[in-house]
Amino acid sequence: MNDKQHTIKAPVTVSGIGLHTGVQATMTFCPAPVGHGYQFQRMDLPDQPIVVADVDNVVDLSRGTTIEQNGARVNTVEHTLAALVGLQIDNVLIKLDGPEPPIMDGSSYQFIQALEDAGLEEQNALRNYYEIPSEIRFVDNSRAVELAALPLNDYRLTVMVDYNSPVLGSQHASLTDISQFKHDISSSRTFCFLHELEALYKQNLIKGGDLSNAIVVVDRVVSEDELAELATMLGKPKVAVKKEGILNNVDLRYKNEPARHKLLDLVGDLALVGRPLKGQILAARPGHAANVAFAKKIKKKMMEANSSPVPHYDPTREPVMDINQIMQVLPHRYPFLLIDKVIHLDDTSVASIKNVTINEPFFMGHYPGNPVFPGVLQVEAMAQTGGILVLNTVPDPENYTPYFVGIENCRFRRMVKPGDTVIFRCWLLAPVKRGIAKMRGQAFVNGKVVMEAEMSAAIVRKDA
């Protein structure tokens, strides 16, 4: 799995009809900055409102997942989101000139192709994984539905479906590595049973449904009169039933294509949690309603964990910036360069690491019998961390120098000693104006605050 966040290198467009609305639409995937996530923009509506792909924005689950925000609605988002997750793309703005993404061939594969044509671009920030801490379970006994998420340092999914049908029977599908999504899952098409077609039409759904973008499973004997009515309903001169029970002689791409498509839907629906996941997902008879209810339980756990402000530090992961990259940005050098690596950086926040060792030159004279990391140097390390953040707000940071111009409400909570690893976190309190940035910072050791302050910094051109 990727350590760094990714977007796409250039915009790319797909067009087609929406499955349920039947409306022709053009959808353009656009590059987006670090921390942006997945957002849809309804270009056909006044003010072109944004709809964030978030489980809290789900408003309808009628044969697909529909989200709504700012008075704008986007239908059937799961296939689009599954393609983004499958390619481990984190940040994309999806511009849409209609109410629903194109259904294409009923799978995610053509979205995958378009995104790969645009090219993927690594970004200067670590992926903000949510690692399942303990078992999370959703059960709907009335439908014999059960979904579970278990701790795992990877993202794996297994789906079981059983339709009590002589055509489909019981099926399983698994994804043991997200990188396999493109080849093993993405081309699996949406499907429904013959007996559902008429009900879906009466519900004003599947207006864009066609035998070229969906599999229709026939699990009973169908008369010639019924086939003629189906042909009229689908706008076809004639429809037929293959002996395997698939309408109009459509060949399955896999024997378990329906189970694989259910796994595809699950990947797309779980994207609405808002962060990439690490865990083992097990699903028995999933559907959009269960997927979304399950995603809400995961997000609730995630938000409870986020109530702690301590940045997560995994020393085994590649940093956003190592010491050599930091020295390309900051002017400080030994013995006054006081941060060792940057582990997070986006438009509004930054986190860095300082490993405190007895070899620091100041320990020779600063309480040599009881060495303590000087508070003033903690402030300087935090200021250097904030300097990385404010330089990230300009397109050419190599031409600017950050200067520390103010400090307020500084407090030292605990002593920092040799052997400690200090995590510094700074975030903007307001947008940068006239080259002045106001920030708040905190320093943590072993999950506890050791120092905090509010700071102001100026960014000045080197040639000014």
Are 141 and 35 members of one domain?
yes
Please report, for residues 174, 235, 404, 409, the alpha-carbon distance to residue 381 in angstroms, rounded to integers and kept in the order given. 47, 69, 11, 17
State CA 160 to chain mean position distance. Answer: 25
363 with 451, same domain?
A: yes
Q: What distance in Å separates the CA atoms of residue 260 and residue 267, rounded to the nearest whole number?
A: 11
pLDDT of residue 62: 80
- Dump the DSSP string for 167-185: TT-EEEEEESSGGGHHHHT
pLDDT at res. 280: 98
Beta bridge partners of 37: none
Is 173 within 8 Å of 158 (Cβ atoms)? Answer: yes
pLDDT, mean of residues 364-373: 89
Q: Are residues 59 and 75 in the same domain?
A: yes
Q: Is 135 helix (H, G, I), strand (E, B) or coil?
A: coil
60-111 tens-digit pLDDT: 998 789 999 999 999 999 999 999 999 999 999 999 999 999 999 899 999 9
300 and 346 share a domain?
A: no
| 284 touches 144 (CB < 8 A) | yes
Structure-token pair, residue 171: 């099926």
Q: Are residues 246 and 356 in the same domain?
A: no
Instruction: Report pLDDT for 277.
Output: 96
Measure the CA–CA gap between 55 and 58, rounded to whole angstroms: 5
Per the structure block, which two tokens stand in for 433? 């104006």
Cβ partners under 8 Å of residue 347, min gap 6: 33, 34, 35, 392, 393
Span 130-154, average pLDDT: 94
State the average pLDDT over residues 13-27: 87
Q: What is the per-residue DSSP string for 267-280?
A: HHHHGGGSS-EEEE
Mean pLDDT of the chain: 88
> How many structural domains are present in the chain?
3
104: left (phi over 0), alpha (psi -120 to 50) or beta: left
Statement to judge: residues 283 and 366 lie in one domain = no
Res. 240 pLDDT band, cuts 50 70 90? low
- DSSP class of residue 189 equals P
DSSP 181: H
Report if pTM > 0.85: no
Distance CA 325, CA 41 (A): 35
Of 150-164, 188-202, 435-449, the poorest mean pLDDT is in: 188-202
172 is catalytic: no
Q: What is the rounded average pLDDT of the residues 381-393?
A: 93
What are 139's strand-pairing partners?
146
Which tokens in the block code for residue 280?
A: 């083992």
Q: Which of 190, 192, 174, 193 is nearest to 281 (CA)?
A: 174
Would you say 136 and 149 are in contact if contact means Cβ atoms under 8 Å apart? yes
Q: What is the pLDDT of residues 284-319, one digit of tens each?
A: 999 999 999 999 999 999 887 765 568 888 888 889
Q: Is residue 69 part of a domain?
A: yes
Overall average pLDDT of the 268-280 stretch:
97
Q: Residues of 62-89 as b/e, b for ≥16 C-beta within 10 angstroms?
A: ebbbbbebeebbbbbbbbbbbbbbbbbb
Q: DSSP letters along 353-394, please? A: EEE--TT-GGGGTSSTTS----HHHHHHHHHHHHHHHHHTTS
- Does the pLDDT of residue 211 top 70, yes or no? no
Q: Which two tokens stand for residue 276?
A: 């990439």
Q: Could you tell me the CA-to-CA distances from 309 to 23, 75, 333 in Å, in that order?
A: 45, 35, 30
Rounded distance between C-alpha atoms, residue 335 and residue 356, angstroms: 13
- Domain assignment present for 422: yes
- Residue 20 above 90 pLDDT? no
- 416 lies in a domain? yes
Is 130 found in the same domain as 241? no
Q: And the tokens for 89?
A: 């793309």
Q: How far apart are CA 188 and CA 182, in angstroms?
A: 10
Measured CA to CA, the distance from residue 88 to residue 108 in angstroms comes to 14
- Domain of residue 419 covers 323-461
Specify the pLDDT at position 193. 72
Q: How confident is the model at residue 278 (pLDDT cuts 50, 70, 90)?
A: very high
Q: Say yes or no to pLDDT of 242 above 80.
A: no
| Calpha distance 36→41 (Å, rounded) | 13
Choosing from 172, 312, 332, 366, the catalytic residue is 366
Q: Does residue 143 share a domain with residue 270?
A: yes
Residues 238 and 263 in one domain: no
Q: Do 159 and 30 reside in the same domain of the chain?
A: yes
Lowest-pLDDT range, 18-32, 111-125, 208-222?
A: 208-222
pLDDT at 302: 87
Note if 288 is an active site residue.
yes
**CA-CA distance, 365 to 64, in Å (whole number)?**
67
Position 223 scores a pLDDT of 61
Task: Kindly report the CATH number assigned to the domain that includes residue 417.
Answer: 3.10.129.10
Backbone conformation region of residue 184, classed left if phi is above 0, alpha if psi is from -120 to 50, else beta: alpha
Domain ends where: 235, 252, 269?
252
Say how many CA atoms lie within 13 Å of 146 toward its Cβ: 6
The answer to the question of residue 314 being in a domain is: no
- Report if residue 145 sits inside a domain: yes
Do 292 and 149 share a domain, yes or no? Answer: yes
pLDDT of residue 41: 98
Same domain for 294 and 176, yes or no, is yes
359 Cα distance to chain centroid? 41
Contact between 67 and 51 under an 8 Å Cβ cutoff? The reply is yes
Instruction: Select which of 20, 79, 288, 344 is catalytic.
Output: 288
Cα 403–352–305 angle (5° rounding)? 130
The CATH number of the domain holding residue 286 is 3.30.230.20
Torsion of CA 91, 93, 99, 102, to 10 degrees: -70
Residue 316 belongs to a domain: no
